[in-house]
Structure 1
């Protein structure tokens, strides 16, 4: 086929399901539909494995793990004197490269093939109902037809602000921040969310002098206020300069140096600049206009992840804007795969109750997240402010995590805080937040309590092992009983 021939000149290949995007979400949709016996094609224009495997979760945590391990070791008597030197940046970056498979997707492709899914390399675009046109790397085009469903799993991209001069400074986004091959001498980070604080933590520990400019009042604005406060305090102690209430007005690059002009009239210089200022859906060039939808928009869905108003189109993961987290996207993919398979089999009524196989209920009120800073911040469900805004009659219960017997054993001088938000009418937890070393491993217990709507009176009978940090659960319940 020549470049000038249309996609209609190529005989369509028909599958039961066509998946746009081979990140963790698309892979899991394919896995579930294949397990149900449906023929499934997956279309990917970049690396199979997606953002998480190569530019987000895996490389960022590979950068952060030695930072946190060193910080933990420094808090243990008899060990701290052995870990006082700098990190071996070259070794950390090499391990990061290993965890990303050197940005090669051979292993992920083999896995996709092992489940029986068919991979089509190229840019996929919707071409009317149940049709996808794939433009391959060589310019050839192939039409894919879906008997039952097309699942859009194309994820999101970094959103850059329209600052004067930005197009000329070669800014970092999360992709460059997690894949950089050298430590910048100075790094300025714009933003106060998860990407901003994690990358500030990593690059400062690797030897960069980091300045964080935050437009708002504090860090991690979607968590309880104390989470951002404790993380900001620790970043400052580590040598990061955190400026809140500060916006970048313009940026330039002068003789290789990035210069940021702030709204306060200050001038901040750095070797690199990272913008961690939000995400946008990767839906601008996937043919949404051919089915009457707005290109570049988030795609609203029901709890089976089917796009509102459609009988065949699904939007799974970041593109539906329900919870921009890999684990939530994979959860949605399991729900979507089950729903697609059930509808393909002619099941007249799907399980749409809160515990059904076809309803993504957890995305409404039980979304967990861990921020891998030092200290870690972990939360699930609603914050106090969110619960009150939703009209629930709630009470916040706060305790110092150091009151748990295991905290002092885990780290000398342990500093951390825990909060549970109790619904006083329903006797359940609406949300839980932990901040402190090692708390990322605590959050799943909270997720079970929140998602399962476990009565607080029953939580008394879930006895934490002694002496562990999990004893904080007992301290929280005691504080709730005694106040």
Structure 2
């Protein structure tokens, strides 16, 4: 048996959240080991954020240009598919992690490649790709940052049909002539937008009544209109009963609940995520394999004094930027506890307490038009029993929208807490609105009173002037 190697902190998972835990604890002088079974940099770098946005950026750029007189005639042709896919490959570092490994070395963290599993409190065993076996012991903490994986529903025929998940959708090397997309959430609508623009005929099958159901209803309506105008077919209130595919290189047939059959060259199931904890050794510390890991606000697993969980795996907010935020919190808390300093004595800026992953979570959906939201929707606020008012404004009526060209369509909403006169949530949909989101996040996270927001003067002529119009509408 290999002799145990001791570190102050052992991080299982080398994606963005795990990297940030290691970075924070190393900055305080603690030693750290990181265990990664795939590529250092994780899902975001190779199969999610970076490749998906690389696919979508040309789509959105062309759409923006087509609205502007003097430019639109120059961009009427198809996208250069080969160039788009080549750039996507570059943004995904050609699925090699040399750069990320170099960064890990630069901060002084030790990388172990292989499958990491807990073996009781503060101990992690690592089985390497070439039969190596390591036993790592943590003096202070083990941080789990293994992320989440795509879930395929239990549908007859699906297991052998070679269906796409988000990974295949962001890394495919050819454009399918017909692509069926099952699911109307973020992954579904972003990939429908990208592959439709690259030449696929998209059929989008949605179980519910609309797209992006976790955002304000008007967001999904705007995105659905744009996808339909681009040539996609959207079928709501539609469920897939079974999948048929006899040859993995041939077409796939989706059989719907009513018996209707839809044929495509590929099918993407974007129907949810599950935690990557099924092979983590959780049973050795009295936790359930395959479960989400509930944590307190320092990201320490409930009932433990040494185990932390950051990123998707704790199920608080499944977004890369939120996972990195949680990792910064956890790293600071681990370091403070290692020094046996009460957290409240060193928590000058709330550095040891994650709160922004609940009430002020920002998200941008990179469709055309873009969608951006932070905080609660109107329906969520009402469901929470709060006395609220939704204030809407047509972004096309703002002078700056005209500079985006002809036919700007967009809408903004702020949800006002009428008792405290602060913003609980803000939502935008329209070209360019992603860049409005941080101002909204500051207003929501900071609980800025509306009478102070009135004195935050937006520049003219920009679409950020919608802030002034929302406040004027609220004040009447």
TM bracket, shorter-chain basis: over 0.9
- Of 429, 433, 436, the residue aligned with 2:423 is 429
Q: Write the mapping of 1:317-466 to structure 2, written as runs, cut at 5 A.
A: 317-350=311-344, 355-466=349-460
Is 1:258–2:225 an aligned residue pair?
Answer: no
Deviations 1:24-63 (A, max 9, x none): 0000000000001100000001000000000000000000
Secondary structure of 2:188's aligned partner: helix
Residue 139 (structure 2) aligns with: 147
Residue 69 (structure 2) aligns with: 77
Taking structure 1 as reference, are residues 353 and 405 closer, same or farther at Cα in structure 2, changes over 3 Å only? farther
Taking structure 1 as reference, are residues 293 and 403 closer, same or farther at Cα in structure 2, changes over 3 Å only? same
Contact conserved, 1:22 with 1:153, CA < 8 A, in 2? yes
Secondary structure of 2:424's aligned partner: strand
Q: How far off its partner does 1:350 sit? A: 3.3
Deviations 1:264-308 (A, max 9, x none): 321110000000000000000010000000000000000000000
- Of 133, 158, 164, the residue aligned with 1:172 is 164
Secondary structure of 1:64's aligned partner: helix
Taking structure 1 as reference, are residues 238 and 193 closer, same or farther at Cα in structure 2, changes over 3 Å only? same
Q: Write the mapping of 1:157-236 to structure 2, written as runs, cut at 5 A.
A: 157-236=149-228
Q: Counterparts of 1:392 and 1:345 in 2: how far apart (Å)?
A: 42
Q: Counterparts of 1:47 and 1:411 in 2: how far apart (Å)?
A: 42
Bigger mean CA deviation after superposition, 349-358 or 312-321: 349-358
Secondary structure of 2:139's aligned partner: strand
Q: How far off its partner does 1:137 sit? A: 0.6
Q: Counterparts of 2:205 and 2:17 in 1: how far apart (Å)?
A: 32
* Structural RMSD (CA): 1.0
Contact conserved, 1:130 with 1:312, CA < 8 A, in 2? yes
4+ residue runs over 3 A deviation:
349-355
Q: How far off its partner does 1:380 sit? A: 0.1
Q: Counterparts of 1:461 and 1:379 in 2: how far apart (Å)?
A: 22
Q: How far off its partner does 1:348 sit? A: 2.1
Q: Write the mapping of 1:236-255 to structure 2, written as runs, cut at 5 A.
A: 236-255=228-247
Q: Counterparts of 1:348 and 1:69 in 2: how far apart (Å)?
A: 50
Is 1:87–2:68 an aligned residue pair?
Answer: no
Contact conserved, 1:62 with 1:99, CA < 8 A, in 2? yes
Q: How far off its partner does 1:355 sit? A: 5.0
Q: How far off its partner does 1:352 sit? A: 9.8
Q: Which runs of 5+ in 1 are unaligned?
A: 1-8
Residue 298 (structure 2) aligns with: 304
Q: How far off its partner does 1:404 sit? A: 1.3
Secondary structure of 2:10's aligned partner: strand
TM-score (norm 1): 0.97
Q: Write the mapping of 1:93-104 to structure 2, written as runs, cut at 5 A.
A: 93-104=85-96
Q: Counterparts of 1:418 and 1:386 in 2: how far apart (Å)?
A: 17
Contact conserved, 1:376 with 1:435, CA < 8 A, in 2? yes
Is 1:42–2:57 an aligned residue pair?
Answer: no
Residue 113 (structure 2) aligns with: 121
Residue 288 (structure 1) aligns with: 282
Q: How far off its partner does 1:139 sit? A: 1.5
Contact conserved, 1:351 with 1:357, CA < 8 A, in 2? no
Secondary structure of 1:268's aligned partner: strand
